[in-house]
């Protein structure tokens, strides 16, 4: 299984600003998912985008997928202190396993 690689490793922004995180992967996928992890807790699923979709929205989240470049981005608009967390992408192959990268640590300063 392949691993998603998130970039940047860490991001620090002011409340109200937008946060953009990127993910790259290596082979064909069925879908790509983004998860959030608050400090010391389990991961929570945020959004899933299928391989035939280019963009998806959920509240303040916007995910794009470019299968030709094998990359995805997660945009959080109008960030809040509560968005402080680690964010992981998980490329999903044609099966049930997901492989998570090391994540992007987002810190939103109030």
Partner 1 sequence: DVKVTQSSRYLVKRTGEKVFLECVQDMDHENMFWYRQDPGLGLRLIYFSYDVKMKEKGDIPEGYSVSREKKERFSLILESASTNQTSMYLCASSPERLAKNIQYFGAGTRLSVL
Task: Name the site residues for partner 1 (rule: CB under 8 A).
Answer: 1, 3, 30-31, 33, 35, 40-45, 48, 50, 88, 90, 92, 94-103
Q: How far is the CB of 25 from partner 1 (least distance, A)?
A: 14
Closest CA to 34 of 46, 44, 24: 46
What is the distance in angstroms between the CA of the first residue and the CA of the last residue of the chain?
39
Cβ nearer to partner 1, comparing 45 with 78: 45
Cβ nearer to partner 1, comparing 82 with 102: 102
Cβ nearer to partner 1, comparing 13 with 47: 47
Q: How far is the CB of 70 from partner 1 (least distance, A)?
A: 18
Cβ nearer to partner 1, comparing 14 with 95: 95
Q: Give me the count of residues in the chain.
A: 110
Triad 58, 39, 105: Cα angle to 5°: 65
Q: How far is the CB of 69 from partner 1 (least distance, A)?
A: 22
Q: Which residue has the tokens 């492989």?
A: 99
Q: How far is the CB of 71 from partner 1 (least distance, A)?
A: 18
Residues with Cβ within 8 Å of 79's Cβ and at least 6 positions away in sequence, in order, are 13, 15, 16, 17, 18, 19, 60, 106, 108
């Amino acid at each position: 299984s392949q691993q998603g690689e998130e970039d940047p490793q860490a991001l620090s922004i002011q409340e109200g600003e937008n946060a953009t995180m990127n993910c790259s992967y290596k082979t064909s996928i069925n879908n790509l998912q983004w998860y959030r992890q608050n400090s010391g807790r389990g991961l929570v699923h945020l959004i899933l985008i299928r391989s035939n979709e280019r963009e998806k929205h959920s509240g303040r989240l916007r995910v794009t997928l470019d299968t030709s470049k094998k990359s995805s981005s997660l945009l959080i608009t109008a960030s809040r202190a509560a968005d402080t967390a680690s964010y992981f992408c998980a490329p999903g192959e044609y099966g049930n396993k997901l492989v998570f990268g090391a994540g992007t640590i987002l810190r939103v300063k109030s």
